[in-house]
Amino acid sequence: MFEKRYRLNLVFNANKVYDRQIVEGIGEYLQAAQCDWDIYFEDDFRYRLDSLKSWKGDGIIADFDNPEVEEILKETDIPMVAIGGSYHHKDDYPRLPYVATDNAALVKLAYEHLKRKGLPQFAFYGMPDTSYSRWSKEREHAFIEQVSSDGYHPHVNQGLCTTAELWDTAQQNLESWLQSLPKPIGIIAVTDSRARHLLQACDHLNILVPEEVAVIGIDNESMARYLNRTALSSVTQGCKQMGYEAAKILHRMLSGYAVENSLMIVDPTGIEERQSTDYRALRDPYVIQAMHFIRHNACRGIKVAQVVDSVGISRTNLETRFIDEVGCSMHEQLHMTKFYRACELVTSTDLAFDEISRICGYPSVQYMYTVMRKNIGMTPGEYRVSSRLNTGN
């Protein structure tokens, strides 16, 4: 009458956002299907390779992006579903049920986003080529193929590993590469972590983001999205869906259904667009300087006079140039920059509204309420609830 109680091992390092979201998807399937499963997971959410060799149980869901895990588990007779990246060569897939993120689709989504912004050149910042970064090499291959097919030159840098010992050397290497690139340019970083390194290097070099270099990452890591001064645009992988489908496949296997060598490739879910790719094809160097100053200082309560001072030409001259290029006045741009920042914080954080109004440079929370009602017809509270209902969060 009742399903047997199974013991499962989840072989993931959940200190990574990718792994955490996969495990969350596995949990969602367990709740939806009401599976009577005992889940083994290391206390610190990191797998131990030695324990894999001796572990006995009924099923495994494992991260096969780690070649050591793949080597240990590929011959196991325990029912198993592997999770990892997609490959452009079919022969590279493991010979067992496998759920993959679509590396080519992730890069395509990022690349097309940058193209729509009007950027004329494109680059990719990856990772050193090792057996542990096969997924990075796949994304690099997809970038080169897609950009070359459109007639652009693909600028690529794998960079160095960023351990504590190599951090300074790695950042110097990255800064040299950034200085060598033509501008303006859009850069796809293989992960959000690599994207943050790019933003930091640009800041050190006084390279304007996104006016000279627009940056987009992959993962949409919520914990660290604001660790840089410039909020990062990022592609969201379908990690939770991957975990859900892997658990579903394993459930079928444990129930006695055949799923021989099944392969499922999961699409990315979209892009979270933030300031790092808010590029406009501006030509006037004075307007570019003014726009950059506004982006980074609007929420500090600056006025138009301070924008003019930062650029160093007359107010009338700059205002005329700005309206011709951007299509609105500097005062309007200051207002909208603060407003968009407030909207982003309302929807993506749980900060109190009086704190958001302070961060965005509004004189009072009541003033922010008035601005939001005028522009979107909702209070901050109504907008937060509405946005989360629409995204399912």
Report the CATH number that the domain containing residue 74 is assigned in CATH. 3.40.50.2300
pLDDT digits (tens, 9 = 90+) for 151-188: 999 999 999 988 888 889 999 999 999 999 999 999 99
Q: Which two tokens stand for residue 359?
A: 């961060």
User: At 391, is the pLDDT very low, low, confident or very high (cuts 50, 70, 90)?
Assistant: low
Q: Is the pLDDT of residue 348 over 90?
A: no
Q: How far is CA 30 from the centre of its chain?
A: 26
Same domain, 214 and 251: no
Pairing of strands 80-85, 122-125: unpaired
Q: What's the rounded mean pLDDT across residues 313-342?
A: 93
Within a domain: residue 360?
A: yes
Q: What's the rounded mean pLDDT across residues 333-345?
A: 92
Domain that holds residue 228: 103-237+272-277
Three-state secondary-structure class, residue 207: coil
Separation of alpha carbons 298 and 270, rounded Å: 28
Q: Per the structure, how many domains does the chain have?
A: 3
pLDDT digits (tens, 9 = 90+) for 206-262: 999 999 999 999 998 876 666 777 889 999 999 999 999 999 999 999 988 877 668
Q: Is the pLDDT of residue 393 over 60?
A: no
Same domain, 261 and 358: no
pLDDT digits (tens, 9 = 90+) for 270-290: 999 988 998 887 889 999 999
Same domain, 123 and 222: yes
Residue found by looking up tokens 């509204």 in the block: 353
Q: Dihedral through CA 296, CA 333, CA 327, CA 285, nearest 10? A: -30
Q: What percent of the chain has pLDDT over 90?
A: 67
Same domain, 46 and 164: no
Within a domain: residue 259?
A: yes
CATH number of the domain within which 301 lies? 1.10.10.60
